[in-house]
Structure 1
């Protein structure tokens, strides 16, 4: 845990650090570069790393305490700093920098215009001069499908140099030449100029200049039909269908002049999902995505900076526009650097309205779904779940693997509508049928609320619901006989630090529960606290055990806050008027509109109430009687407007059974 007494012996004297732009490197004891960063003001930036450790982000603290020394290089401008930062990240591959790593390279549709007989092919290699690229595409099969459709209209060469040379030698084309999907320049069916014209027409079509070609093919088809050349007309009809199908595969989102990459992020404290959609000539040509580990506490602007430097610096082709959700602090320098890579102006912008803003929101939804799918895949991996349980067993010094873990959280608003939640994970997987919700009365703070919840939960060990743990509330059975808990947990997790863990451990010890381990997960630094320990357990950032605890904590928090909002909403909408038989919504609204509040309504006379349209003397008497009863018994709980008993709530003030997850994971 970050400790205010931690002294970083390699900290340079503040006066020795220049105030000019520059790039700095942190080294570990072995001399390996572990982090590279740039700064507009080196002194200001580096001083932030050597502030009070308690104020540092835990990942930043881990980095500066892992390092053994720091060095820097001074440059003249921010653009130079950006260039040097990129070069050093590329050279040293520091482990504490955000890394955009693909599990694959993304393919392009390439046209080798530098050859005498240009060919069409799929390429994943770095771009080179003399080759025109379309893409990137998500999958190579998407390119091959498009090519298969278009070769009947643009029968350009697709064979390798060896196949082409062999066909020229034996004077016999390959299969594509026989079926009409290659003009066969290898055997002289078309000249080099004629073949290049076919390739140029193909490039025009892929670049979005489609309307002239469609009109030409349709006109030729109609002419062939009029001249009774039905076979030729049928072939042209099929060509027209193929062109339209190829166009459907490339959705038009903007006007033809738009050349942009639309970038969006979805993040949590440990990782971020990045999605980029490539729009060329107004059409979506491809999409890429990454899941990156956040070593620092990076905001979206910092993620944009790292994205641009790594993705475009590694041979990427910056478009005219890069549309992002937030501009980095060095946006002008970054745009200038990208312009240098492209050879013309590149704009870094936040779309404010219109189609571009709507499309950015679409890309953001894709990023959110990608992050959710990544978490689900990680949670569903049996080997990772086993590794997580093993790590928790070792880190918390447990006797056995915690196959059943229960996590508790309390939710309240300044002492009102205090509720608590219990979520259950068995073998690393959520067991939603075992979730419980508790209504808390009389608790003064989170600690007393947590103690009450644990007393009520562990008073039920066994198949039958036992008496309430605090002796002041009565357990409410839901249904004919509420199910008890299958078996006690091996580990109880509470949302909080040392105070919450101490209260939970004291409660369980007072009840004689000695076979259940207790720990807490504090939000700010993600450290794990154990009872009576002076310092927390620090799990590595990439630990599967920490990831499991975070999922438990976040699920308990979500479940508690959802229940709290439900309770608060019911309290705010319920009134004494709800209990009056025959008084519907229209007449209730009429009463409140006439008098303004329940207090003024209660002070009104029988005659005044009867004057409200739709309210007769008998209804007026019922209204006054109900309001008088509510004043004499202010703790009366009105009925649930839904008319159904909700598991976990009711006059008995208990946690009821939980058979489903209303809020969604």
Structure 2
């Protein structure tokens, strides 16, 4: 634990301007981001007597090893910068709201030539209109099934659509009039897009126009004695009304608002929001957060608004540059934001939201009337969500704390292992070896930090056994850590990097590839030989502050370096269970990558034997030159222009290809 006085800046160095500050630990990892109207006044609060600080604040300042700040012109700028830094660095001591479930949305892919309606989860995509969120996917499908009678737009997958184009026959929905079948030319792409626009308008709340239009057509068909068409329109009208009735009017003045409510205690907070559009509830979401910061309810609300609407600011900026429309129903910033507690800087928040929405936004606490009643209903939902969350997680939180304490005691660790890395080797009959690295922080998986390693061995043809492979993987991982710790340049880091990959789908790839943050504990899958190999790899690199243990599968024995006998943890131990979870996760991750390579034929490219040339760089080279043959004819200077390929590596590639 660091003494805050060792890195406290002198008061005269700190400006009195607004700004954003960052606390970093001894490994230069950002652990806390904050903002202030007056940087000097705010930072001075952190450097008072540690005993007088809140326990969580005291833990943060004693974990930190340095503090730095950036001055900005206005408080609105500090709000935006704080949000972007929290998203970039993911500081462990900042409040982070987590969705209490993965919510499905009704999505219309307006960015495609033939828009498609479907259920979507996860990250929002550019050019797609979203409506929701809904509590259940079946609720979306039920709504879509009713609306396809009136707005028969495409809902099939790309494969089904392409097959229908090739055969000239529509799918079943085309035959039962729940799709206008643009795949076979029944309707033109322009007419289908107009139909999709009408669908989006209806979902956005413009229901009256569609209902009135169908009523008029029904009356006209009846007057023309076309009773069959009138009957179909009557059924369409009934379907529309059932959809409208599902969204009861809660605010008679047709208000567009997001109504937030919060239930909190000293440790956690639960937040719920009702998205009200056109006076009707169009969606609901919930978040839960651990109160890792010593902040008030008003500050919790401020952080919540930053997180909820911050992504919209980035999406709007990206879409504006690309010239696309990103109005996404309930995700757009509404005219009114009703909160349980008014943040102190609500004026700056309103200005920030106005910049995102392009029009005035009011942030306030509802005091009376229908909005107050609705806010109380949302608060009841938040209270119930917090109670349910505590019921589900009480055992988990207790077990995680007990597990880390037991490992510290039984393994004789100098400090609690807040970050643990586990390594495993997978191969086929000794060939095609791959290594995996999984990371647990505070007892839970940190999947964005997972890594794969392709084991190459001393001569580029694989390691002789698991111990040599384990030594190579640990050496590559911690050599990269030392390089980044010592501030090597990007080209030098590329020369050090040797084939590691981020797990597919993880965001922020460039930042997440960083190895600059070491673990307190390394766990290897195996017994005394594997532990000795891992310990030797660290010793050769001069790393003495990382503990190493191994978990042998047969008897679940825990091995420590240099010990003749394993440590025995009780079978019911939470610490042993945590080690087993780590080992099993590393094994799963290694096997998954190994099977993927095997599914791709595990063909060895002419580039595989080039030291330091991993799969990501091979892909970049083949993408640039098109083939190994074209790459063989290229000059080293041309090869060095590819991103991630330095001059030395380019020379090695050219020399290897000339010899092969």
TM-score, normalised on structure 1? 0.54
**1:256-655 paired onto structure 2 within 5 Å:** 257-315=254-312, 317-379=332-394, 381=395
Provide structure 2 residue ranges, at least 5 long, that are not aligned to the other structure: 313-330, 411-573, 576-660
State whether residues 256 and 283 of structure 1, in contact with CA within 8 Å, keep that contact through their aligned partners in structure 2.
no
Aligned to 2:170: 173
1:412-440 CA distance string (max 9 Å, x none): xxxxxxxxxxxxxxxxxxxxxxxxxxxxx
Kept in 2: contact 1:262–1:324 (CA 8 A): yes
Distance (whole Å) between structure 2 residues aligned to residue 161 and residue 395 of structure 1 = 53
Distance 1:395 1:264, change over 3 A: farther
CA distance in 2, matches of 1:317, 1:106: 17
- 2:144 pairs with 111, 127, 147, which one? 147
What CA RMSD, in Å, does the superposition of the two structures yield over aligned residues?
A: 3.2
User: Quick check: 1:26 aligned with 2:23?
Assistant: yes
| In 2: Cα distance, 1:323 partner to 1:122 partner | 28
- 1:571-619 per-position Cα deviation (integer Å, ceiling 9, x unaligned): xxxxxxxxxxxxxxxxxxxxxxxxxxxxxxxxxxxxxxxxxxxxxxxxx
Gaps of 5+ in 1: 398-543, 546-665
> Displacement, 1:91?
1.4
CA distance in 1, matches of 2:4, 2:399: 38
Task: Supply the distance in 1 between the matched residues of 2:308 and 2:400 (Cα, whole angstroms).
Answer: 33
Query: Is the partner of 2:48 in helix, strand or coil?
Result: coil
CA distance in 1, matches of 2:398, 2:62: 30
> Is the radius of gyration larger for structure 1 or structure 2?
1
Q: 1:324 Cα shift?
A: 0.6
Q: 3-state DSSP class of the match of 1:278?
A: strand
Offset at residue 189 of structure 1 (A): 1.9
Cα deviation, residue 119, structure 1: 2.5
Deviation readout 1:89-117 (Å, 9 max, x if unpaired): 11111000001223655333233334443
Q: Provide the TM-score with structure 2 as the length reference.
A: 0.55
For 1:171 and 1:338, how far apart are their aligned partners in 2? 49
Residues 8, 65 of structure 1: 8 Å contact kept: no
Alignment counterpart, residue 107 of structure 2, candidates 95, 110, 116 = 110
CA distance in structure 1 between the aligned counterparts of 2:364 and 2:100, rounded to whole angstroms: 29
**1:435-460: CA deviations, max 9, x gaps?**
xxxxxxxxxxxxxxxxxxxxxxxxxx
Alignment partner of 1:86: what SS?
Answer: helix
Q: CA deviation at 1:42?
A: 0.3
Distance 1:30 1:174, change over 3 A: same
Secondary structure in structure 2 of the residue aligned to 1:269: coil
Contact 1:208 1:256 in 2 (8 A): no
Structure number with higher helix proportion: 2
From the superposition, tell whether residues 263 and 72 of structure 1 become closer, same or farther in structure 2 (CA, over 3 Å): same
Q: Deviations over 1:484-538 (max 9, x none)?
A: xxxxxxxxxxxxxxxxxxxxxxxxxxxxxxxxxxxxxxxxxxxxxxxxxxxxxxx
* Distance of 1:387 and 1:113 partners within structure 2: 45
Q: Deviations over 1:120-158 (max 9, x none)?
A: 223335445543332233333322221011101111112
Say which is worse superposed, 161-170 or 362-371, in terms of deviation: 161-170
Between the aligned partners of 1:395 and 1:162, the Cα distance in structure 2 is 54
Q: How many angstroms does 1:253 deviate by? A: 1.9
Larger mean Cα displacement after TM superposition, 38-47 or 24-33: 24-33
Contact kept? 1:112, 1:132, Cα under 8 Å: yes
CA pair 45-237 structure 1, distance change in 2 beyond 3 A: same
Check conservation: 1:265, 1:368, Cα contact below 8 A: yes
Number of residues of Structure 1 aligned to a counterpart in Structure 2? 394
1:100 corresponds to 2:97? yes
